[in-house]
Structure 1
Amino acid sequence: MISKQQIEEKYTAIFEQAPAYVVRSPGRINIIGEHTDYNEGFVLPTAIDKAIYVGIGKRDDHIIRLYAEDFKEYFELALADVHPVDKGWPNYVLGVVHQLQLRGANLKGFDMYIDGDVPLGAGLSSSAALECAVGFALNVLFDLEIGRVDIAKIGQLAEHTYAGVKCGIMDQFASVMSKAGHVVKLDCRDLSFSYKPLELDDYAILLLNTNVKHSLASSAYNDRRASCEEGVRLVQQKFPEVKSLRDVTLEMLEAHVRPVDMEVYTKCRFVVEENERLHQACDALEHGDIETVGRQMFSAHEGLSKEYEVSCPELDFLVDYVKSFPEVIGARMMGGGFGGCTINLVKKSFQDLLVERLAPIYKEEFDLELTAIKVIPSNGTELL
């Protein structure tokens, strides 16, 4: 955890005055609901206690000055000259500025210091956290009166246009909208949402990072999207009112997709069943039944691995290994696939012992270090 005072001191050392505001915007996890977002389905994310922090202050000219602690890098640009740059990290800030300019926001120059403790490359959405921190900070600094959902949308558009990643809305939405002790049940079709209680009691959420990213990820993602779209097209021939897999039942798939294309059928069935698992997990959360949530997670991993085929040997190994311990009640791969983390529901008292046992076996099997990340569900973007 980084303190407000640390940010203020660093900001003051670099920009020679105190920041007007310090904003914290968290990374996120997703309990269940993977590859459902681009099919207008449901997701179940929450923010975590790892975040991006920005200090911000006004200038009396039209210059943007940025400093990123992670890279020990300084960047400067005139507000009138905002455009995507070759250096990666400023684009997440500039993309948000650009979206605000398109909305006619009355911006002036500002100084911004950026730091964070979201582990990079672990699939915890550090980029979305940064975009939301920037949007939130500029909103308070210049009294823009932009609502939280719009801050999330601005972050998503910044990612599309300046970072070149066509992400869904989940990451930004979770970063801005989360509430400690809850998950957000988000409908990716219309962005309606509700909070479900996440009462973990004796359990904790432990992420195990494979420290691997297979190059299959982007091509496989495009293939899966195409399969889902093809399944919808086949069903639409009989049911023209169907807009996405969200509207499709298993019976429709059985009758209209399975006889035509078994591969497409299998991929579409996974998405339809994943939405169903999410609804069942939400019912269980309402009743404080964390064991049922865990079972749905194991079931989701099975589907992601065997049916949707977006897992990898490292992820499968970690999920299979933890299954043998009664202290682990649920685990699955999290994120797009082919690397990143597994998310595990583990008895609090067993977390360290599990990692102690698992790390050397994982190292022996794959010659890779295993990184454990303990996370606590937390509030979304806030002013410190």
Structure 2
Amino acid sequence: MKYPESVIQSFRQTFGENPALVVRAPGRINLIGEHTDYNEGFVLPAAIDKAIWFAVSPRADDRLHFQALDFRDEFLGELKNLKKSEKHWPNYLLGTFSELQKNGFQPGGVNVIFGGDIPTGAGLSSSAAVESGLLFALNELFGFSLPRPELARLAQRAENNFVGMNCGIMDMYASLMGRENHALLLDCRSLETEYFPVNLPDFTFLLCDSGVKHQLMDSEYNTRRRECEEGVEMLKKLFPKKEIRSLRDMSSEMLFSEKNNLREVVFRRCKFVIEENERVLSACKALKNNDLNEFGKLLCQSHEGLQHAYEVTCPETDFLVEQTFSDPAVLGARQMGGGFGGCTLNLLHRDAVSDFQEKMQAVYRGKWGRDLKFYPVEITNGVEIVNEQR
């Protein structure tokens, strides 16, 4: 499908009029900073040129009419009777209305048609784009005047409370606050943000989708959180004069000085988080100095930590990253996302993309007997209006 033309055309065919608003809500990549969000650390995401597109108009009643082009499905509901749908996909939209109502805002009924080109299951946060994009549209249509950071918090709560997914806020911030050719440094404790330039005239980011979706992720994710929390509680006792709320408050030197007082696995988990926070800040400095070689090295170090210290990679993604070590066109690569599969993020020379894809496809198919998917991405603005007829 071609966007936004397809959502506009479908809206006209379904409702017999032009939409009042057409909104683009991007997915995101996380350049560096994995498993730091729930440890009150730093992340460095960016909005990308894969997006969910919305065509939206207000209704004269309190009914909700949603159409999902990608699912070829629709949903009809009422504002006064918001309840979870067995279809599941409408819940990402319904949750936004629920959170607005909880916070004293009264949106009216709407007609919504949406679809997009964010690959599903690739870890590019299509769900956050849906929530962020619709909240932005409702904010515009009904004049709530909510700032973007508040929209991000509402979108997170919609997914936490209505959909039932205990996600962090990074994905929503990236979708709403993204800026073209910039990465967004997000402090997950204070929610303060800072932009850093990503100048890539000769280089680009390319995602390699391993096609692996391990079922370990939910259980192991919870285990990693508990191990980090155990480390924090022990370090509080070992450093009683320090105000330690999370691993964010620890340095590598402090951690190594008490290595023998921590369980070995807890030490490794804490080591990764503390060093990953340091890598995020070093990555910002590298971007500011336009030092892409240093930035690439930090990506590789991040993967090494994910593989050996945090133990959330898998043989397939390790294989993909290892293949880049001998390729002079690749400055760095790492597994992106929560772990146990998904995509690797590769920073490589633009002129080498075609040869790289051909080589990686051949070796991956030879090793694992299945094809890779590739997603070239460019860094774009966050949620924005692309067409308005009000």
Instruction: With the length of structure 2 as denominator, give the TM-score of the two structures.
Output: 0.97
Classify the secondary structure of the residue corresponding to 2:260. Answer: coil
Number of aligned pairs? 384
Per-residue deviation, residues 108-144 of structure 1 (Å, max 9, x unmatched): 1110001100000000000000000110011111111
Partner of 2:62: 62
- TM-superposed CA distance for 1:257, in Å, is 4.7
Question: Which residue pairs with 2:212 in the alignment?
Answer: 212
Q: Which amino acid in structure 2 is aligned with residue 230 of structure 1?
A: E
Q: Which region of structure 1 is more displaced relative to structure 2, 230-239 or 312-321?
A: 230-239
Does the 8 Å contact 2:3/2:53 carry over to 1?
Answer: no
Q: Once structures 1 and 2 are overlaid, which stretch shifts more, 257-266 or 32-41?
A: 257-266
Which of these residues, 293, 316, 324, is aligned with residue 314 of structure 1? 316
Q: Secondary structure at the match of 2:261?
A: coil
Q: Which residue identity lines up with residue 137 of structure 1 in the other structure?
A: A
Once the 2 structures are TM-superposed, how far is the Cα of residue 306 of structure 1 from its aligned partner?
Answer: 0.8
Flag as ranges the 4+ runs of structure 1 deviating above 6 A: none
Pairwise CA distance, 1:366: 1.2
Say which SS state the counterpart of residue 200 (structure 1) adopts. Answer: coil
The whole-number CA distance in structure 1 between the counterparts of 2:383 and 2:134 is 10
Specify the code of the residue in structure 2 equivalent to 1:51: A
Q: Which amino acid in the other structure matches residue 180 of structure 1?
A: E
> Shift of the alpha carbon at 1:103?
1.1
Using a 3 Å threshold, how does the CA distance of structure 1 residues 172 and 2 change in structure 2: closer, same or farther? Answer: farther
In the alignment, structure 1 segments of 5+ residues that lack a partner are none
The one of 246, 249, 260 aligned to 1:247: 249
Task: Tell me how far apart the structure 2 counterparts of residues 94 and 106 of structure 1 sit (CA, whole Å).
Answer: 13
Instruction: Find the aligned partners of 2:108 and 2:116 in 1 and give their Cα distance.
Output: 25
Q: Which residue of 2 aligns with 1:323?
A: 325
Q: What is the aligned partner in structure 2 of residue 380 from structure 1?
A: 382
SS class of match (2:162): helix
Alpha-carbon distance, 1:7 to partner: 2.2
1:16-165 equivalences under 5 Å are 16-165=16-165
Q: Is the 8 A contact 1:132 1:151 kept in 2?
A: yes
Instruction: Determine the structure 2 residue equivalent to 1:294.
Output: 296
- Alignment partner of 1:340 out of 318, 339, 342: 342
**Paired residue type of 1:260:** L
CA contact (8 A) 1:235 1:252 kept: no
Does 1:169 find its partner at 2:169?
yes
Distance 1:361 1:238 in 2: 49
Amino acid at match of 1:298: C
* Residue 284 (structure 1) aligned with residue 272 (structure 2): no
SS of alignment partner, residue 86 of structure 2: coil
Q: Distance in 2 between matches of 1:341 and 1:95?
A: 28
Give, in angstroms, the shift of residue 357 of structure 1.
1.0
What CA distance in whole angstroms lies between the structure 1 residues aligned with 2:199 and 2:367? 35
Aligned counterpart, 1:267 = 269
Residue identity over aligned pairs, in percent, reads 45
Unaligned runs of 5+ in 2: none
Within 2, Cα distance between the matches of 1:5 and 1:226?
47
Matched position secondary structure for 2:76: strand
Do the aligned residues in 1 keep the contact of 2:3 with 2:116 (CA within 8 Å)?
no
Amino acid at match of 1:210: S
* Counterpart Cα distance in 1 of 2:262 and 2:173: 37
| Residues 1:235 and 2:224 are matched in the alignment | no
Match of 1:146, SS state, is coil
**Partner residue of 1:351 out of 350, 353, 363:** 353
CA distance in 2 between counterparts of 1:9 and 1:371 reads 29
Counterpart Cα distance in 1 of 2:39 and 2:105: 33
| 2-structure distance, mates of 1:164, 1:5 | 33
Give the CA deviation at 1:351: 0.7
Question: Could you tell me whether the CA contact under 8 Å between 2:231 and 2:262 is conserved in 1?
Answer: no
Please tell me the residue identity of whatever aligns with 2:5: Q
The secondary structure found in structure 2 opposite 1:220 is helix
